[in-house]
Structure formats: structure tokens, C-alpha cells
Amino acid sequence: MAWLATRRCWLYFAFLLVPLLSVVVAEDGLLINGDFEAAPSNGFPNEGVGPVSVPGWNSNGMVELIESGQKQGGMILIVPEGSHAVRLGNDSEVSQDIKVEKGSTYSITFSAARTCAQLESLNVSVAPASQTIDLQTVYSVEGWDSYAWPFQAESDNAHIVFKNPGMEEDPTCGPVLDNIAVKKLFNPDKPKDNAVTNGDFEEGPWMFRNASLGVLLPTNLDEETSSLPGWTVESNRAVRYIDSNHYTVPQGKRAVELLSGKEGIISQMVETTPEKQYSLTFSLGKAGDSCQEPMAIMAFAGDQAQNIHYSPIGNMSHQTANLTFKARADKTRIAFYSVYYSTRTDDKSSLCGPVVDDVRVWGVSQAAKLWGGLGHGLLGMVLAMILVL
């Protein structure tokens, strides 16, 4: 009996030990030294001159640690956040390995700025996925922007690489990289009364608490692997993912601000029944970022399109819009873009636009029942008030 008790004790100990031996998956948030504020063993270099070893990262090529306020000729280098960032020279890269869950979708958020060249870009990859982000368009007057890029984990290990694919005549040129974070994404369940996935935009990429510029979503045509689950960005310019901490959001905590006119399109394929009537409803608002009016969006539902101007009632910051359409197939494309190319009135440079939120597609009979129920409720309240009086 003693050996049986001992065996049970060992089995119990092994059971407790299993979680300790399992792989620790990367948590949502900043990567190891993702803000590049950890000093190298020999300290930060003076004026960021020469390649350095960056703690927590593997480097290849001319990788420099730069400091806020650092000058290069007559130009002050931009550090997006904090005191330090890295600059990638010609054909240079930094990389880091993180543990992930195979088959899951992740989104990497990072901040980037260009230095000397107009045509600078930054390639981000987790094999076999890769995308080159064009840094030519600066969306804010700050001189830098935050971006999100998605990938699906092909294994339990993700090798994240940021590379400068350019070859400039001046080898000291190259994009600046800062504030790198990761977030595991989930595909929200579709509500019973709504054919749109993630129509409230609450599920999306990592956003830092001080992300006052929001996060840009560049072109991404893969709906299955998107930083904004359920949605694709079809155009060659980005849209902005915003939060209620820094912007005016119609409902909930997150929404999408449409930038760059027809060059900033979001879309989704929703399930429909052919020849059935549907209603596409959504909230149209302003972000509270001093965007110049007029503002309007073009909304699409299958072969139907409608130009809707932002014209809220009273002091409301948003309005509800509706587009009725007949489905022609079992899948219908819905899409939105800004009619105008707008900038902020306070700096005349930062790109901005109308906000879309709370997107729904439902059968016309469902919408009629909802509004009918609301109507009967309001009528009952009025009658009750009359009887009381």
C-alpha cells in the first residue's frame, strides 16, 4: 500500500508540474523591449552613430538606436514615443521570436516614420506572410503614424521581422521604428439579428493607452486574416482605427475613421438570401478631431449605392443612416468610403474623415418589427402620460 501512496503522490506532483513545463504564449501588449528604451550593455551610443546591439532583438545590417531630438544635418529625427527608437539603414532588419498559438490570428501594432527619402517603406513579415508598408503618405502632422499588420500563426513560434527594403544613395537614411506590440485576435460571433461580423468594430488591433493618433489599417484584402476581423481594407491608402479615449465614437469603445476619399475603403461580404429585401443601417459621425466639413460617405450594398452627408440633428455628434437593398446572391458586399478628401482645420495637414460604427444588415421585416415595437412603445408612453394628466 505504501508504494501505491507514493505512486499517487508522484502522479499528483507531475500533474501540478505540467502547466509549468508548457509553452508560455506571448501576452497581448508590448514585445520585449518593443519601445527600444532598454539600454545596450555599453549604454546608448552618442548621437546614435554606428550599428549597435539592440537588447531583445536580433539585428542585421545598419541598425541604429536614435534619441529624441537627435539631428542629422539640418533635420531632427522623429522618435514616435519615449526617448529612443531604431532606424533601419539600407537592406537592414531587426527581428524577434515570440511564442504563439498555431492557427490563431494575431495583429502587430507598430509606429513608424520616414527620414530622408519620400519613397521609404517598411516590410513586416512572419513567414510565409509578408507586406511592405508605404511610408510616403504621412497621415498626421506629428510626422509619424501607428500601423497594424495581421498574420496567421503557421506554427507555435513566430519569427517577426521588420526590414527596410530600400537602397538609398545615402546609407544613413531609412525608416524609424518604435512601439511594437502584438495582440491575439478573435472573430466575434454574429448576432442573431445582424449578418455583419464585428459591425461594432470592438475587436481589432492593439492600441496603446496614449494612442492619440489611432492605428492605421493599410491595404489588406484577406478577410480571413485581418487586423479588423470580418473586414477588409480594399484601397491603396489606410483607414484609421480609433478609440473613445481620444476620439468621439458613436457607440462602444472603437470605430473606424475613413481617410483619403475613395482611396480608403472598408468592405465585408455578408450572407444573404437571393431576392430578399434587406436594410443596411449604420452610425455616421465625426471623430471630434477638428475635421473640416462637409463630410459624407458613399455606402454600398450589392448593386445599390447611396451618398450620405453628415448632418446630425442639434448637437448630436452622429446620426443613423439606412440603405435598403435586394440581395442578388447568397453573399452581398457592403462597403464604405469617404466622399471628400478632408484635413483637420487646426493644422491643415492631418488627414481625417467621417466615422462609421454600429453596422448592421438585417431583413426588412426584422427592421420593421424593431421600429414598429419602438413606435408602439412610444405611443404607449404618450397615452399613459395623457391619462395621468
Q: Is the pLDDT of residue 51 over 90?
A: no
Q: Where in the chain is the domain with CATH 2.60.120.260?
A: 29-257
- Distance separating alpha carbons of residues 241 and 226, to the nearest angstrom: 13
Higher pLDDT, 235 or 356: 356
Q: 29-257 falls under which CATH superfamily?
A: Galactose-binding domain-like (2.60.120.260)
Q: What is the pLDDT of residue 376?
A: 40
Q: Is the pLDDT of residue 368 over 70?
A: no
Q: Is the pLDDT of residue 72 over 90?
A: no
3-state helix, strand, coil in the chain (%, to 5): 15, 40, 50
Q: Is the pLDDT of residue 374 over 70?
A: no
Q: Which three cell numbers stand for residue 223?
A: 478577410
C-alpha Rg value of the chain to the nearest Å: 25
Lowest mean pLDDT among 132-136, 190-194, 316-320, 357-361: 190-194
Q: Is the pLDDT of residue 386 over 50?
A: no
Q: What is the pLDDT of residue 288?
A: 94
Q: Is the pLDDT of residue 244 over 90?
A: yes
Whole-model pTM: value is 0.86
- Distance separating alpha carbons of residues 368 and 321, to the nearest angstrom: 15
Which CATH code fits 261-371? Answer: 2.60.120.200
Q: DSSP of 78-138, one letter per residue?
A: P-SSSSEEEEE-TT-EEEEEEE--TT-EEEEEEEEE--S-TT-EEEEEETTEEEEEE-SS-
Tell me the CA end-to-end span of the chain in Å, nearest whole number: 85
Task: Dump pLDDT digits (tens) for 14-24.
Answer: 444 434 334 45
Lowest mean pLDDT among 72-76, 104-108, 216-220: 72-76
Task: Dump pLDDT digits (tens) for 319-362.
Answer: 999 999 999 999 999 999 999 999 999 998 899 999 999 999 99
Neighbours of 7 (CB within 10 A): 10
- Torsion region of 330: left, alpha or beta (phi above 0 gives left; psi -120 to 50 gives alpha): alpha
Q: What is the pLDDT of residue 85?
A: 96
Task: Give the rounded percent of residues in the chain with a pLDDT score beyond 70.
Answer: 86
Task: Dump pLDDT digits (tens) for 262-292.
Answer: 999 999 999 999 999 999 999 999 999 999 9
- Torsion region of 141: left, alpha or beta (phi above 0 gives left; psi -120 to 50 gives alpha): alpha
Q: Where in the chain is the domain with CATH 2.60.120.200?
A: 261-371
- Distance separating alpha carbons of residues 84 and 195, to the nearest angstrom: 45
Summarize the confidence of residues 35-46 as an average pLDDT: 88
Burial (0-12, 13-18, 19+ Cβ within 10 Å), 12: exposed
**Dihedral sign, Cα of residue 10, residue 15, residue 17, residue 21:** positive
